[in-house]
Amino acid sequence: MIKSIDSKIIPIDKGIVGLCKIPYHIHSKGCPNHGKKAGCPPGLLSLDSIFDFNEDIHVVYTKFKVGEFAERMKIMHPEWKDQTYLDNPKFSNKVRELKNKLIEKNPDWKADYFPAENKTYWKSSREWYNPRRWQGVARKEHSKEIFNFFENDTGVVDGDLEKALKIFFNASSRKSSPLINNGLLDFNGFRVNKCPEAYGVNITGLMAELGVKLDWQWPPEHNLDNITYMVSLIGKIVNNK
């Protein structure tokens, strides 16, 4: 799905990048890419320094039926059992602390700009929902939607774009492309940002503005209807001269 929006509705606060340093399963210091991977904070420009906010911003969001994927994993691997997960107070307290700071700075942000808090306990399986198993498939589908944007909305595509998108959305690729720089992809006057939250975008809030609710509890309580989304932003390249 692709929706064109006015940049004014994008909820932005640099404090959002604080989520990157919140501890989670087997990562006691937060995301291991923080400060190491191109396109990750800190040190990134503001969103209006990479996009021309006088033009429409295009939100590309691709639905992935992660519940159905998990069910296939459950059937294929009966040795992977579900278990009861308990909410981690260390994680939840830090998220709550960050949320309160964001609310204080942005009193106009609505309640649905923030995800629901984790349940006290729930049943699921990290093995069924391991992102390493499903994200590659989801990224391919997302990449196709971005290619379709250039094909249908700009009328310009070529082999270089197709190759660049494959590299751009392959987390383990060591290849390079002249279209990719610092975690961004530039083509035909447009720029693709595959990690808006790294630039302070409140993804939960932005998607709420588009009528889409995001659930962040992970692994989610198992249900065939579980959905997750890949979200990127496309905009005109800003002229900084």
Taking only the tens place, the pLDDT of each residue in 42-93 is 878 899 999 999 999 999 999 999 999 999 999 999 999 999 988 778 788 8
Query: Residue 159 has what pLDDT?
Result: 87
* Buried-exposed string 196-219: b where 16+ CB fall within 10 A, e elsewhere: bbbbbbbbbbbbbbeebebeeeeb
Query: Residue 154 has what pLDDT?
Result: 79
d(CA 85, CA 71): 18
Query: Residue 231 has what pLDDT?
Result: 97
Domain borders along the chain are 2-236
Pick from 51, 65, 70: nearest CA to 5 = 51
pTM above 0.75, yes or no: yes
Q: Give residue 230's Cα distance to chain centre.
A: 6
The letter for the amino acid at 94 is: K
Taking only the tens place, the pLDDT of each residue in 177-198 is 999 998 999 999 999 999 999 9
Taking only the tens place, the pLDDT of each residue in 21-46 is 888 777 778 888 887 787 788 878 89
Q: Which residue has the tokens 């400060």?
A: 35
